[in-house]
C-alpha cells in the first residue's frame, strides 16, 4: 500500500506553547486513519498544520513524496488535501448550492463540477432537497453534511475531518460515520480527528493516540479499541 501522507517529527508552537512535540504518523492510500485524544492533545493543530494554516517550527509533511511544509493553503487544496473544519464553518447567508460551488473554487473543469455535485447528492440526498435554502437555516446535522459535501467538491485525494460528530444527536452521528465509510469506499483516503473515540475506532483502519502533543500509542484501530489504556481513558470503560 503506497504512502499518501507522511508526517515526521512535527513541532508546532502557539507563541511559547509547544503544541506538537515531535509528532510522527502516516496515512496510506485507501485508509481511514484516526487521531484520538483529549481536548488540547494537539489533534486539530495537526490538521491545521497539514492544511497549511499553521507553520511547523521543525519537522516535515510530505504528500505523495512532495514536501508541503512551506506550501500555501490554497495550493495544498489544489494538490488534493481538503479539510472539513471543526464547527462546520459553512457560509450561512449563501444557499446550499452556493456553498457547494465554493468548494470547487480551485477547479477549472466546469463540466466535471456538476458531476461532482451529483456525487455529493448521492452521499447526502438531503442537500439536494435544500439546494436553495441558506446554509444557516439548516439543522446541525445538515450543516455537517454540507461542510463535508463542500469538501468533496474539491475532489480530494485526502479528506481531513475535524470533529464531524460534534454537537450531533446519536442517530445523526451514526449516519455521518456511515457516510464517512462510504466516501472512503469510493476511493477517498481520510484522516479523522474525533472526540467520539469509540465511533472513530470502529470505522478506522489504523489509529494514533495523541497526548499533550505527542503520539503515545498507535496500531490497528481494532486493537486499540480493545486496549485497556484506551478503554479507560477514552471509551469510558
Alpha carbons 63 and 208: distance in angstroms, whole number: 19
Q: Give all domains of the chain, ordered by start, each with its CATH number.
A: 3-80+156-234 (3.40.50.300), 92-154 (no CATH)
Q: Strand 206-211 and strand 32-36: pairing?
A: parallel
Give me the pLDDT at residue 86, please: 87
pTM of the model: 0.92
Give me the pLDDT at residue 237, please: 56
What tens-digit pLDDT sequence spans the chain (237 residues)? Answer: 799 999 999 999 999 999 999 999 999 999 999 999 998 999 999 999 999 999 999 999 999 999 999 999 999 999 999 999 887 789 999 999 999 999 988 777 877 888 899 999 999 999 999 999 999 999 988 999 999 999 999 999 999 999 999 888 888 899 999 999 999 999 999 999 998 999 999 999 999 999 999 999 999 999 999 999 999 888 865
Amino acid at each position: 500500500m503506497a504512502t499518501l501522507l507522511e508526517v515526521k517529527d512535527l513541532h508546532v508552537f502557539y507563541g511559547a506553547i509547544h503544541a506538537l512535540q515531535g509528532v510522527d504518523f502516516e496515512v496510506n492510500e485507501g485508509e481511514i486513519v484516526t487521531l484520538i485524544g483529549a481536548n488540547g492533545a494537539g489533534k486539530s493543530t495537526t490538521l491545521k498544520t497539514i492544511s497549511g494554516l499553521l507553520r511547523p517550527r521543525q519537522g516535515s509533511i510530505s504528500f505523495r513524496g512532495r514536501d508541503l511544509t512551506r506550501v500555501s493553503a490554497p495550493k495544498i487544496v489544489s494538490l488534493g488535501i481538503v479539510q472539513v473544519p471543526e464547527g462546520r464553518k459553512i457560509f450561512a447567508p449563501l444557499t446550499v448550492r452556493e456553498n457547494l460551488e465554493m468548494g470547487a473554487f480551485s477547479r477549472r473543469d466546469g463540466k466535471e463540477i456538476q458531476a461532482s455535485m451529483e456525487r455529493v447528492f448521492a452521499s447526502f440526498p438531503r442537500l439536494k432537497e435544500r439546494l436553495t435554502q441558506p446554509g444557516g437555516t439548516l439543522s446541525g446535522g445538515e450543516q455537517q453534511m454540507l461542510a463535508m459535501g463542500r469538501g468533496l467538491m474539491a475532489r480530494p485525494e485526502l479528506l481531513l475531518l475535524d470533529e464531524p460528530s460534534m454537537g450531533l444527536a446519536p442517530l445523526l452521528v451514526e449516519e455521518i460515520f456511515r457516510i464517512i465509510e462510504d466516501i472512503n469506499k469510493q476511493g477517498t483516503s481520510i484522516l479523522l480527528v474525533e472526540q467520539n473515540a469509540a465511533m472513530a475506532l470502529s470505522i478506522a483502519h489504523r489509529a494514533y493516540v495523541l497526548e499533550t502533543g505527542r503520539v503515545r500509542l498507535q496500531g490497528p484501530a481494532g486493537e486499540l479499541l480493545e486496549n485497556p489504556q484506551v478503554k479507560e481513558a477514552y471509551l469510558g470503560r
